[in-house]
């Protein structure tokens, strides 16, 4: 079922969902299931699975020369989505990125998703390759997420890259990313929102936000979206802080601010066990306020760990 239908059927009740990462190449899928299992009691109608692009590695060979290796460290998104749908009977939402793919490869992945009975896709541009400073599109691929949204939208109307198939139309529900504190490459929030609107106009059906710790940022973002005529559901992305280092890692990776009250509380912790508890308490309060305002879903970034999310969800659902 489509994410938008799950939201509609919930009749204003806030739903619980979460995102997982595929395991690193060679690791067991069982680790993923062990983290999903404790969260199933909160009845997530959908689970997101991230997509990870290739990385470059430089390895020294015995003769002293250096070899450049192109490797995907977390493959398996398509297979994990199929496994989740089969094992848990919930909708898996694969992420689909522009980076590293030409349009033909993208079309073929979409055909696989369709055959697997996947109804939803979160469409993204993807980040730059780690060793590159800025995003370089594939020469035969897409530069921005709105172009990828259009490609999925075309397939939803039966228009493939080279042919039209009236009976081959897919019916994907398309999620897109939004940034309450603006995307880091954007000169300002208004410009970023203009491009967000472009993604909606191209066929985006719902928005999932970047993680944030200050609800005001989310509420202001939703208000601005509504003023621009964006009417689709806007799902807040939530991440509990769990170690002291998150004070620097999260702003660095996700380009977000942290409220001073949270920073102080974490700084005053004597160890990471205490930080873990502060993170849980902060998130519970944050989520309670979001639920009070009627957010459609609380979407947790689990990043492969579920114990704190289980404790938070126990308080909320
Ligand atoms: P876009 O919407 O294309 O925007 C990128 C930048 O370009 C923005 O600054 C925007 O303002 C600007 N822009 C957009 N359109 C245009 C245009 N037509 N002309 C000029 N400028 C434009 N990354 C992964 O690699 N894998 C994942 O699984 C993944 N999951 C994510 C899930 C969520 C909920 C979020 C919020 C992010 C996720 N990311 C993931 C990270 C994401 O790929 C990066 O944030 C990426 O840098 C931007 O992606 P986007 O889809 O928002 O890009």
Which atom belonging to ligand 1 lies closest to the Cα atom of 191? 11
Residues of the chain below pLDDT 70: none
User: Rounded CA gap, 306 and 102, in Å?
Assistant: 35
Query: What is the residue with the minimal CA distance to atom 53 of ligand 1?
Result: 125
List the beta strands (DSSP E) in 29-125.
Answer: 46-49, 55-60, 66-71, 91-97, 120-124
Number of domains within the chain = 1
**Phi, psi at 97, each rounded to 5°:** -115, 155
Identify whether 57 is a catalytic site residue: no
pLDDT of residue 305: 87
**Residue 60 belongs to domain with CATH number:** 3.20.20.220
Structural domain containing residue 303: 3-316
Distance 178 CA to ligand 1 centre (A): 8
Pairing verdict, β 46-49 and 15-20: parallel
Which is catalytic among the residues 19, 27, 41, 132? 19
pTM above 0.85, yes or no: yes
pLDDT of residue 41: 97
User: Rounded CA gap, 105 and 110, in Å?
Assistant: 9
Question: Residues near 60 by Cβ (< 8 Å), separated by ≥ 6?
Answer: 66, 67
Quickly count: other Cβ atoms within 10 Å of residue 177's Cβ. Answer: 19
List the beta strands (DSSP E) in 100-212.
Answer: 120-124, 173-178, 206-211
Query: Which residues form ligand 1's pocket by a CB distance below 6 Å?
Result: 50-51, 53, 95, 97, 122, 124-127, 144-146, 177, 183, 185-186, 192, 195, 199, 208, 210, 237
Q: Output 192-199 pairs: Cβ under 8 A, ≥24 positions apart.
A: 193/224, 193/225, 193/228, 195/144, 195/146, 196/225, 196/230, 197/228, 197/229, 197/230, 198/146, 199/123, 199/145, 199/146, 199/149
Question: Residues near 72 by Cβ (< 8 Å), separated by ≥ 6?
Answer: 25, 52, 53, 54, 55
With vertex at residue 201, the alpha carbon angle to CA 200 and CA 205, rounded to the nearest 5 degrees, is 40
Query: What is the residue with the minimal CA distance to atom 41 of ligand 1?
Result: 126
Distance 177 CA to ligand 1 centre (A): 6
pLDDT of residue 188: 98
Distance 255 CA to ligand 1 centre (A): 13
Cβ proximity of 282 and 312 under 8 Å: no
Pocket test for ligand 1, best of 122, 134, 177, 255 (most atoms within 8 A of CB): 177
pLDDT tens for residues 17-38? Answer: 999 999 999 999 999 999 999 9
User: Rounded CA gap, 251 and 213, in Å?
Assistant: 11
pLDDT of residue 222: 98
pLDDT of residue 60: 86
User: Position of tokens 């990385």?
Assistant: 55
User: Position of tokens 């949270």?
Assistant: 262
Q: How far is CA 103 from CA 26, 78, 123, 162, 247, in A?
A: 28, 17, 14, 11, 38
Query: What is the residue with the minimal CA distance to atom 49 of ligand 1?
Result: 125
Pairing verdict, β 91-97 and 66-71: unpaired
Distance 6 CA to ligand 1 centre (A): 25
pLDDT of residue 261: 98
Quickly count: other Cβ atoms within 10 Å of residue 17's Cβ. Answer: 24
pLDDT of residue 239: 97
């Amino acid at each position: 079922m489509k994410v938008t239908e799950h939201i509609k059927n919930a009749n204003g009740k806030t739903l619980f969902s979460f995102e997982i990462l595929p395991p690193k190449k060679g690791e067991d899928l069982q680790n993923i299931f062990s983290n999903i299992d404790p969260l199933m009691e909160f009845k997530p109608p959908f689970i997101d699975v991230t997509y990870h692009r290739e990385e470059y590695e430089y390895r020294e060979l015995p003769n002293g020369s250096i070899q450049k290796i192109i490797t995907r460290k977390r493959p398996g998104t398509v297979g994990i989505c199929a496994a989740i749908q089969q094992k848990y009977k919930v909708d898996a939402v694969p992420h689909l990125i522009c980076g590293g793919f030409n349009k033909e490869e993208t079309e073929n992945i979409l055909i696989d998703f369709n055959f697997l009975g996947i109804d939803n896709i979160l469409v993204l541009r993807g980040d730059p390759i780690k060793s590159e400073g800025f995003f370089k599109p594939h020469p035969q691929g897409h530069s921005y997420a709105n172009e990828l949204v259009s490609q999925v939208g075309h397939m939803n109307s039966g228009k493939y890259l080279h042919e039209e198939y009236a009976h081959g139309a897919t019916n994907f529900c398309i999620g897109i990313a939004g940034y309450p504190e603006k995307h880091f490459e954007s000169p300002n929030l208004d410009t970023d929102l203009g491009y967000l609107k472009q993604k909606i106009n191209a066929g985006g059906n719902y928005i999932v936000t970047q993680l944030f710790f200050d609800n005001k940022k989310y509420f202001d973002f939703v208000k601005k979206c509504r003023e621009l005529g964006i009417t689709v559901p806007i799902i807040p992305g939530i991440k509990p802080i769990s170690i002291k280092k998150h004070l620097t890692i999260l702003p660095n990776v996700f380009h977000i601010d942290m409220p001073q009250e949270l920073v102080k509380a974490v700084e005053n912790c004597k160890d990471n066990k205490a930080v873990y508890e502060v993170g849980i308490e902060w998130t519970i309060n944050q989520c309670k306020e979001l639920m009070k305002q009627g957010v459609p879903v609380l979407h947790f970034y689990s990043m492969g760990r579920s114990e704190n999310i289980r404790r938070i969800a126990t308080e909320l659902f």
